[in-house]
Amino acid sequence: MALSNTTLGMLIATINSSIVLISLPAIFTGIHLDPLQPGNVSYLLWMLMGYMLVTAVLVVTLGRLGDILGRVKIYNSGFLIFTVTSVILSLDPMQGGGGALWLIGWRVAQAVGGSMLMANSAAIITDAFPARQRGMALGVNMVAGIAGSFIGLVLGGLLSEWDWRSIFWVNVPIGLIGTVWAYRSLHETGIRRKARVDWWGNITFAVGLTALLAGITYGIQPYGGHTMGWTNPWVLAGLIGGVVMLAVFCLVEARVREPMFPLGLFRNVAFAGGNAATLLGSIARGGLQFMLIIWLQGIWLPLHGYDYVDTPLWAGIFLLPLTVGFLLSGPIAGYFSDRYGARLFAAAGFVVMAASFAGLLLLPTDFNYLVFAFLIFLNGVGGGLFAAPNTSIIMASVPAEARGAASGMRATFQNAGMVLSIGVFFSLMVAGLARSLPGTLSSGLAAQGVPGANAHDIANLPPVGTLFAAFLGYNPIQHLLGPDLLGKLPTANQHTLTGREFFPHLISGPFHDGLVVVFALAIVMSLVAAGASLIRGRAVRAARAPQE
C-alpha cells in the first residue's frame, strides 16, 4: 500500500513539472499570448520555473513538518491540494497576460501540494520497508518520479494537440483516486516527536533560495545591450543577497535547538556525498532535457519534414527511449542494490550517463535517429541505475526520526538542480550562439534578399529569443522579419525564409558548437557525481542542541 500510493504521488507530481514544458506553445496559443514579445518573456520563464522553484524551496520544510506532525498526514494533504488546484488551473477564465498570471499563480499553489508529496514519499517507504527490501521499493518510487518528468513530455505533446486545458484535466481523476486511496490505506508507522517549528530557519531559507534561483533565472534574459542579464543590478542583488541569506540560514540552523534543516546530518560524508551526487545528476539531466527538446523541435524535426506546430508532439514521441531506459533499469538496480550494495550501482549509473553524453556530443546536428535513440536510451538506463541506490544511500545514513527532513533535503537538491540547469545550460548555449549566430544569420538573410541594414539589425538581436523559439518549436524568422519586411520580398524568398529548412540549417552550426560545451560540462558533472556516490560514512544524529 505504501509503495503503490507513494509511487502514484511521485508520478503525478513529476509528470506535472514537465507536461507544461512541452505544452507551452499550445498554452500560449490558447490564452492568445505571444511568448516571444520582449514584455512577455517573464511569463514564459515563470511558467517554466515557478513550479520547480517552489518545490525546491518548500520540500525541506514540509519534510520536517512530516517528522513533527506525521508524514502520512502531510502527504495526504498534498494529494488534496494538488487535485483542487488542477481543477482551478483548467478553468483559467482570462486571456493574454491575465491568463498567464492565473496559470503562474495557481501553478505555485499546486507546487505546494506537489512538495508535500515529494517531501514525504521516500520517508514513508523507508518507514514501511525493512532494509533488505528498501532499495527495491525506493527504486520503483524514484524511477516513477524521474521517469515522470519524461512521461510528461509525451503526455503533454499528445494532450496539447487536443486541448491545452486537458494537460490539467488529466491530473484530476488520478488526484481524486490518490487522495481517497491515501486517506483510506496509509497509516503512520514512522517515529514522530514533538518539536517547535523553526520559523527563522524557514524564512531565511525560503528567501535566500528564492532570491538565488530567481536571479539565475533572470540572468539569461538580455539587459542593457548585453546578450544576457548577469550585469543587471536586480540579478546581482538576487544572487548576492540570496547567498548572504543562505549564509545567515546556516548560522541560524547551527544555533537553533530544533532546526528544520539539520546541518549535523552533513557530518556523515555518505549523506553529503549522496546529496552532492543528486544535485549534479539533476543539473546534468535537466540540461539534457532542455537541449534535446531544442534539438528536436527547433532543428531535427523541421529538417525531416515535420511542421512546427506538430513538433511538440513528435519531440515527446521521439524521446520515448529515454523514458524506457529509466523504467527498465530503475527497479532492477533497486533490487540488486539490496543484495550487492548501493554505491557501485549509483556510481555505475553516472558513468553510463557520462558515456551517453560523450556519444551525443559526437553526433552531427542532423543525426541518424537509431543512433540518437540508442544514446538517449543509454542515458535513461544510467539515470535508472543511480536513482534508487543513491536515494537508498541517503536515507540509510540518517536516524529514523530525521527521515522526513532527509527526504525533503534530497528533494531540494534534486529540484534546485533542475532550476540551476536552466540558468547554467541556457547561459552556456546563449554565450555560444552570441559568438557565431549573428554572422551566420546576417549572411543567410542577405542571401534571401533581406536588405543589409535589416539583416544586420535582426542578426544582432539577443539570441535568447532565437533559443526560446527553438525550445517552443516556433520558426522565429517570420517573427523577426515581421509582415511588412516579408511582404516586400519576392514570393519565392518568402517561402524559403518561413519554410521548414531555412532556420534549422541556419542554426545547426552555432547550436552544435554550444552543444559541445554543454555536454562536456554534463560529462564532468556525471563523473564527479559518480565519485561522490562512492563515499562511505556512518549515520549521525539529526541535530545537536547548542552548548549551554
Cα distance between residue 156 and residue 172, in whole Å:
15
Tell me what the pLDDT averaged over the chain comes to: 79
Q: How many residues does the chain have?
A: 548
Task: Give the burial string for 502-515 (b: 16+ CB within 10 Å, else e).
Answer: bbbbbbbebbbbbb
Q: Which residue has the higher pLDDT, 279 or 155?
A: 279
Pair 160, 313: CB distance under 8 Å? yes
| DSSP code for 226 | B
pLDDT by residue (tens digit) across 33-90?
877 666 677 787 788 778 877 887 787 777 777 777 777 888 888 888 988 998 898 8
Cα distance between residue 466 and residue 506, in whole Å:
11
Pair 519, 284: CB distance under 8 Å? no
Q: Residue 172 pLDDT > 80, yes or no?
A: yes
Cα distance between residue 391 and residue 400, in whole Å:
15
Pair 15, 152: CB distance under 8 Å? yes
Q: Which residue has the higher pLDDT, 475 or 298?
A: 298
* Percent of the chain whose pLDDT exceeds 90: 7
| DSSP code for 306 | -
Task: Give the burial string for 127-144 (b: 16+ CB within 10 Å, else e).
Answer: bbbeeeebbbbbbbbbbb
Q: What is the DSSP string of 211-224?
A: HHHHHHHHTTS-BT
458 vs 51, 143, 199, 276, CA distance in Å?
Answer: 33, 44, 51, 42
**Residue 206 binned pLDDT confidence (cut-offs 50, 70, 90):** confident
Closest CA to 316 of 139, 150, 435: 150
Total Cβ atoms within 10 A of residue 308? 20
| DSSP code for 543 | -
Pair 19, 156: CB distance under 8 Å? yes
Q: Residue 151 pLDDT > 80, yes or no?
A: no
Closest CA to 425 of 494, 520, 301: 520
Cell of 477: 524568422
Q: Which residue has the higher pLDDT, 537 or 330?
A: 330
Cα distance between residue 484 and residue 461, in whole Å:
18
Closest CA to 475 of 276, 283, 302: 302
User: Residue 540 has what pLDDT?
Assistant: 44
| DSSP code for 39 | G
Considering only CA atoms, give the Rg of the chain. 23
Pair 143, 384: CB distance under 8 Å? yes
pLDDT by residue (tens digit) across 519-539?
888 899 889 988 887 776 454
Cα distance between residue 358 and residue 451, in whole Å:
41
pLDDT by residue (tens digit) across 419-444?
788 778 877 777 777 777 788 888 88
Total Cβ atoms within 10 A of residue 91? 10
Phi then psi dihedrals of residue 489, to 5 deg: -90, 155
